[in-house]
Amino acid sequence: MNLGLAVAFSVLIATIVVMASNTPLANLQERLHSKIMEAKDSRIKATTETLKCMRILKLHSWETSFLDKLLQLREAERSWLKRYLYTCSAIAFLFWASSTLVSIVAFDVCILDLVGTPLTAGATLCPSPP
């Protein structure tokens, strides 16, 4: 005894929904990675410039203004990194929760009695005899 086409179609639809929701998250992750690299490049350029011109900075007492500039660049990089890590977490959650979601959809279809077959261990785990 198998569970029927209703369960198969519902599981197929749940799988497609999970796959379709993964695509925009992956695209967002790629864009955020590019933004992180841009922010990191600007911060490293500013740090390099500061280190090269240290004598001039000390001579004119510009340390605090350059420090503020570096901290501002660092904060911008940190905000992009934070968004990126939240997106990575969402993708990881979707990956690990997808099998549970598909199972819940299959059992919900059976419990709602859309199949007409009682939900027993034999119906779900054992193949039907030929």
- Give the pLDDT confidence score for residue 35 in this predicted structure: 96
Would the CA dihedral through 38, 36, 57, 52 be positive or negative? Answer: negative
Nearest to 29 by CA among 90, 72, 99, 102: 90
Arithmetic mean of pLDDT, 25-41: 95
Identify which has the larger pLDDT, 76 or 119.
76
The band of 1, judged by pLDDT with boundaries at 50, 70 and 90, is very low
Higher-scoring residue by pLDDT: 7, 32: 32
For 20, half-sphere exposure in the C-beta direction (CA atoms, 13 angstrom radius) is 6
53 three-state secondary structure: coil
* 49-61 per-position pLDDT tens digit: 988 888 888 888 8
What's residue 124's pLDDT? 63
> Mean pLDDT lowest for which of 62-66, 91-95, 123-127?
123-127
* pLDDT over threshold 60, residue 70: yes
What's the chain's average pLDDT?
85
Give pLDDT tens digits for 83-101: 999 999 999 999 999 989 9
